[in-house]
Amino acid sequence: MEDAGRSARKVEAQVAEAVAAVRARAPQAAPRVGLVLGSGLGAFAERVEQATRIDYAELPGFPEPGVAGHAGRLLLGSVGGTEVAVMQGRAHYYESGRADAMKVAVRTLAGIGCDILVLTNAAGSLVEWAPPGAVMLVSDHINFTGVSPLFSEVGDARFVDMVGAYDKELRKNLKQDAVRCGLELPEGVYMWCAGPNFETPAEVRAAKVLGADAVGMSTVPEVILARHAGLRVAALSIITNLAAGISETPLSHAQTMEVAAAASDRVQGLLERFLANLSEGKH
């Protein structure tokens, strides 16, 4: 318990320092929505108007992304009239063996005023209705790793209710916006696997039996942390490949980046419309 207490105090101090650093660099910023940009979506940062850019290295406790396509910057500005805090890149469990690598970042977003967190990722599909290039709205998840970013937390708040973790109203709004964008947006269940290796065909078959529609190596830790912090959550998966054993195409991160980039414009357009409607009070 003593070690847990020290860890909790360290996180609290880092969050306080990170919030203060953001306030010093962007004193007028009042973001309502936080966004975490996954592989292939870094270009969305170019849509942030009047952006203040802060490298993660300047924010205590923020991750040091070590994956291509994750720039490692926080942007404060607006998109579609809604003030946002955009994380251009994330940390993954497989980079450090720490499920809580995004803890300070998520709590900092809450600390600077965000009440909504929108997450994006690249994922492999297990179903015919979500081929490469499709976009899936996450309705629920399966944690296949057996770990939690809330390990060593103290107090009753750590027992987070994950029913409705993917906010029903936000999902409804995103589906409506997708229709207006001419984008098909089926809903499905995302399974978090540890990585960095891709899943085996046997693991993919097991995932299908368990009820997963897509598999990936991120997002779920941030969702758990966001719900612990009281944020409403929505998540979008860009389907970049068919999971192991479904297709004969060899899996690689290069393929992930290539397909994610091809679908990026449609996802960016959806996010911009969602944020504009939020600003105009239509959501």
Q: What is the pLDDT of residues 160-197, one digit of tens each?
A: 999 999 999 999 999 999 999 999 999 999 999 999 99
Beta pairing, strands 33-37 & 116-125: parallel
Residues β-bridged to residue 236: 120, 137
Instruction: Domain 2-279: give its CATH code.
Output: 3.40.50.1580
Q: What is the pLDDT of residues 26-40, one digit of tens each?
A: 999 999 999 999 877
Name which residue leads in pLDDT, 39 or 221: 221
Domain ranges of the chain: 2-279
Average pLDDT over residues 11-18: 96
- Whole-angstrom distance, CA of residue 32 vs CA of residue 95: 29
Sign (positive/negative) of CA torsion 155, 157, 161, 162? negative
User: E strands, the chain, where?
Assistant: 33-37, 49-55, 73-79, 82-88, 116-125, 135-143, 187-192, 214-216, 232-242
The SS3 assignment for 198 reads coil
Burial of 223 by CB count in 10 Å (0-12 exposed, 13-18 middle, 19+ buried)?
A: buried
Among 72, 37, 214, 62, smallest CA distance to 141 is for 214
Number of H helices and E strands in the chain, helices first, is 7, 9
pLDDT at 69 over 70: no
| 278 Cα distance to chain centroid | 19
Question: How many other CB atoms are found less than 10 A from the CB of residue 20?
Answer: 13
